[in-house]
Amino acid sequence: MFKKNILKNNLRIITVPYENTEAVTVLVLVKTGSKYEEKEINGISHFLEHMLFKGTKKRPNTTLIAETLDRVGGIYNAFTSEEYTGFFAKVGSSHLSLALDWISDIFLNSKLEEKEIEKEKGVIIEEMNMYVDHPSSYVQILWRELLYKDQPAGRNILGTKETITNINREKLLKYIKSQYVASNTIVCVAGKFNENKIVEEIGKYFSKIRNTLPFEKPKVIENQKYPQCLLKERKTDQTHLCLGVRGYNLFHPYKYAQDVLSTILGGMMSSRLFIKVRERLGLAYYINTDSYSDTDVGFLVTQAGIDSNNIEKAIKIILKEYKTMTERKVGERELKKAKDYIKGKLILSLETSDSLASFYGFQEILEEKILTPKQICDEIDKVTKDDILKISRDIFRPSKLNLSLIGPFNDKNKFEKILKI
């Protein structure tokens, strides 16, 4: 299914051949993101992601960067998370060398010109404004702020207007020299390619990557002892909320059980909360429960947009479903449905070269261990009714309960009073 090679400079290469396609994706991942940032440079990982598209010596400006792959119908972009930054190019398989040349060029040779840095500050501040103006997105940012407070895990990936304004070329260069190094980077190629030549070709294009040790992210501190609420008053037509609990990280043996639990609660259209809150009571257009696991923290959270007149009713219903999970085991049929749903979604998500690159690349960059789809499905199958009951009793407790919401309210005390399980 895949091969892993480590070059002499410690650059890791993951190759995933897939003959049932005429496409190929090159994905470069760096193990750095907002969790690695000091408060004064919050947002620098994301800022740097933007700046790598602004020009190199070979392709001096944004237009030439874009035209390179536009001329062959390529798809390309980048992204930043709390724990990694990624850049990808997807092209027809005959253009693989072009994609490798392009992505290695922006990764290793970006000019980071002062004039472009100053212009991009305005772009990123407008990106911040966009998310703040979109309550269903902004409430997710508030959720992490509520959980982790004033530490890297609780800060916005985009940074703040103040930190972005203060970023300069010197800070960007210092950060890229520290983090964009061979031992902190993987190159994943998935799709149709020549397996006999690919590792050598990648090594050639990335031969100039620095080979120093990056700095590690600080440990996340979790010391919650009672339910917490973060309220942002806003005259919205509906109230948007995130209601959930602290859970398990990527290395915890119960991470798969947490995935199954979230699916039962609100991960599909026949899940408990979707049926009850939307279909039976008509309280929401959207409601879903998701499970998140990072390398150091995890959580289970239900998000919904609710008529503000019914917000307390909806919160109580969600909490009641949480409590029900602690009182009795799920039925065999419901458990099987959730597990089959997760496995089916996984299989369907791996039909393209870019999704394959992400599947294998994300595992390697975060866990330094890769499971095949079959191995993951086997782990899902191992989850039992007893596991679901056990983790429900562990995580659905007042001391792990959190609520972030945006709506026309100014008193968070009334919400804190109903946060009971």
Can you give the pLDDT of all 421 residues of the chain as single tens digits? Answer: 899 999 999 999 999 999 999 999 999 999 999 999 999 999 999 999 999 999 999 999 999 999 999 999 999 999 999 999 999 999 999 999 999 999 999 999 999 999 999 999 999 999 999 999 999 999 999 999 999 999 999 999 999 999 999 999 999 999 999 999 999 999 999 999 999 999 999 999 999 999 999 999 999 999 999 999 999 999 998 999 999 999 999 999 999 999 999 999 999 999 999 999 999 999 999 999 999 999 999 999 999 999 999 999 999 999 999 999 999 999 999 999 999 999 999 999 999 999 999 999 999 999 999 999 999 999 999 999 999 999 999 999 999 999 999 999 999 999 999 999 9
Q: Are 43 and 124 in contact (CB under 8 A)?
A: yes
Would you call 421 helix, strand, or coil by DSSP? coil
CA separation for the pair 81, 103 (Å, rounded): 19
Tell me phi and psi for residue 80, to 5 degrees. Answer: -130, 135
Residue 376 has what pLDDT?
Answer: 98
Contacts of 238 (CB under 8 A, 6+ apart): 305, 306, 307, 308, 407
Q: Which two tokens stand for residue 155?
A: 């800060």
> Could you give the residue numbers annotated as active site?
49
CA separation for the pair 6, 199 (Å, rounded): 9
Sign of CA dihedral 126, 129, 133, 137: positive
Contacts of 383 (CB under 8 A, 6+ apart): 256, 257, 260, 335, 339
Find tokens 């050598």 and name the residue.
Answer: 200
> Residue 308 carries which DSSP code?
G
CA separation for the pair 285, 304 (Å, rounded): 8
Beta strands (DSSP E) in 277-344 are 284-293, 298-307
228-417 shares the fold of 3-205: yes
Residue 374 has what pLDDT?
Answer: 97
Residue 1 has what pLDDT?
Answer: 84
Q: Are 87 and 187 in contact (CB under 8 A)?
A: no
Would you call 168 helix, strand, or coil by DSSP? coil
CA separation for the pair 88, 357 (Å, rounded): 9
Long-range contacts: 410-417, Cβ < 8 Å, 24+?
Answer: 410/231, 410/233, 411/231, 412/229, 412/230, 412/231, 414/312, 415/229, 415/231, 415/312, 415/315, 416/227, 416/228, 416/229
- Answer whether CATH 3.30.830.10 is correct for domain 228-417: yes
The domains of the chain are located at 3-205, 228-417
Single out the residue of 139, 158, 141 nearest to residue 37, CA to CA: 158
Burial pattern 265-274, b for ≥16 Cβ within 10 A else e, equals: bbbbeebbbb
Stretch (H or E) spanning 186: strand 185-191
CATH of the domain spanning 3-205, picked from 2.60.40.1730, 3.40.50.150, 2.60.120.10, 3.30.830.10: 3.30.830.10
CA separation for the pair 243, 227 (Å, rounded): 11
DSSP string, 61-128: SHHHHHHHHHTTT-EEEEEE-SS-EEEEEEEEGGGHHHHHHHHHHHHHHB---HHHHHHHHHHHHHHH
* Structure confidence by residue, pLDDT tens digits, 184-223: 999 999 999 999 999 999 999 999 999 999 999 999 999 9
Q: Which two tokens stand for residue 226?
A: 């009672």
Single out the residue of 198, 210, 341 nearest to residue 264, CA to CA: 341
Q: Are 39 and 151 in contact (CB under 8 A)?
A: no
Residue 266 has what pLDDT?
Answer: 98
